[in-house]
């Protein structure tokens, strides 16, 4: 337990959670740093007057209650007075600074840890926004088995906004049973993370939230940023203009005529009914590079669906179905059942047109 003035936070170190005054996740780095400071602290001098006005009090469960009290700093030397179960001592300044903490510093504030990568992300706001993204590439699930690949910059903008969500204050919502104004659900690895937001907090610019890391208030501007990025991702404007959108490197292409081009060690192999051959690795890499370049996005027409069937398989095992339509020097790609078609740039169109014959 860490107490300061009239506030306190109780941490179950073994479970990594805050148990009082409100439940939540503990900040493992902050807790470990505090315990490490206590374990490595040394005494400069024993004895001194009792500490009448503690700056902070730490109570440790070591099979019994062990109380560490932080007193004033000695201005002339920077040292600090500390009492352990009432036994007063003078300690180095770094010990005093390590123990001089706000209780809320032991709490986890950010909804997701820095550097975390999502494998699922949902944003719901009443009836106006219903965004569901799944898989390492955060593919948009549009219902009825349909899916849409989003532009990298849009996915980054949304994840950056979600990763910026942090608790500015702690405490339960005024009415946690009330229906939320909106929700954010994230899955990082096997861990589900949820945030629900409600009405405004007493402090201006903050909104009440209930989350899996604890309850409190986050900045309204942070919620607005998530909603704005989610709206783009939910619209046609968020659809990727680059044909090739994968979360892992491409390891195989299935082309018309039963031809399969797949990675084989450091090179590429062509497999067909007539036999197997080594592929020109430079040509395969050039094709993939051109497919990863921006194309011209437009509304899909009935003609676009009549192209040749391609399949793209990446290292995660994910398989994308394409329809590739070549007409003269032009080529168009439709991914699955997306609402748009992608008109390729001339160099990409030429490479796509030559790919089956070249293989």
Which pLDDT value is given to residue 359? 53
Q: Which two three-digit tokens encode residue 242?
A: 């680059």
Q: Please, are residues 195 and 125 in contact by the beta-carbon 8 Å criterion?
A: no
Which residue has tokens 């339960």?
A: 172
The Cα–Cα gap between 305 and 212 comes to 44
Which residue has tokens 């300061």?
A: 4
The Cα–Cα gap between 149 and 168 comes to 34
Which pLDDT value is given to residue 306? 84
Which pLDDT value is given to residue 49? 94
| Contacts (Cβ under 8 Å, ≥6 apart) of 39 | none
Mean pLDDT of residues grouped by 10 in the chain (359 residues)?
A: 94 94 93 95 94 95 94 94 96 95 94 92 95 94 91 95 96 86 94 94 96 95 98 95 93 94 93 92 94 94 88 93 94 93 95 76
- CA-to-CA dists, residue 83 to 66, 76, 245, 276, angstroms: 11, 20, 60, 79
The Cα–Cα gap between 251 and 209 comes to 43
Q: Which two three-digit tokens encode residue 291?
A: 């497919």
Q: Please, are residues 28 and 110 in contact by the beta-carbon 8 Å criterion?
A: no
| Contacts (Cβ under 8 Å, ≥6 apart) of 148 | 139, 140, 142, 239, 335, 338, 339
Q: What is the pTM assigned to this prediction?
A: 0.84
DSSP-derived pairing of the beta strands 267-272 and 169-170: unpaired
């Amino acid at each position: 337990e860490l107490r300061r003035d009239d506030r306190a936070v109780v941490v179950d170190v073994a479970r990594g959670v805050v148990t009082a005054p409100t439940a939540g996740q503990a900040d493992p780095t902050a807790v470990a740093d505090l315990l490490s400071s206590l374990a490595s602290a040394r005494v400069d001098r024993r004895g001194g007057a009792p500490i009448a006005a503690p700056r902070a009090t730490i109570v440790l469960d070591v099979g019994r209650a062990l109380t560490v009290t932080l007193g004033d700093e000695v201005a002339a030397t920077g040292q600090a007075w500390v009492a352990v179960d009432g036994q007063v001592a003078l300690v180095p300044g770094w010990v005093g600074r390590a123990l001089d903490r706000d209780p809320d510093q032991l709490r986890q504030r950010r909804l997701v840890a820095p550097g975390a990568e999502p494998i699922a992300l949902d944003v719901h706001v009443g009836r106006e926004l219903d965004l569901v993204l799944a898989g390492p590439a955060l593919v948009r699930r549009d219902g009825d088995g349909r899916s849409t690949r989003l532009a990298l910059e849009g996915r980054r903008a949304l994840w950056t906004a979600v990763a910026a969500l942090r608790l500015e204050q702690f405490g339960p919502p005024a009415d946690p049973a009330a229906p939320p104004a909106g929700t954010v659900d994230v899955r990082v690895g096997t861990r589900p993370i949820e945030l629900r937001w409600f009405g405004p907090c007493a402090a201006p610019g903050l909104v009440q939230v209930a989350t899996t890391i604890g309850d409190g208030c986050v900045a309204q501007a942070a919620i607005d940023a998530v909603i704005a990025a989610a709206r783009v991702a939910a619209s046609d404007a968020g659809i990727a203009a680059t044909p090739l959108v994968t979360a892992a490197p491409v390891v195989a292409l299935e082309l018309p005529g039963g031809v399969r081009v797949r990675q084989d060690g450091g090179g590429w192999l062509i497999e067909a009914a007539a036999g197997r051959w080594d592929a020109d690795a430079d040509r395969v890499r050039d094709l993939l590079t051109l497919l990863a370049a921006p194309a011209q996005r437009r509304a899909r027409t009935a003609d676009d669906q009549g192209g040749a069937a391609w399949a793209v398989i990446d290292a995660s095992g994910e398989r994308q179905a394409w329809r590739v339509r070549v007409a003269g020097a032009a080529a168009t790609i439709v991914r699955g059942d997306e609402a748009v078609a992608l008109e390729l740039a001339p160099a990409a169109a030429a490479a796509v047109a030559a790919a089956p014959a070249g293989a």
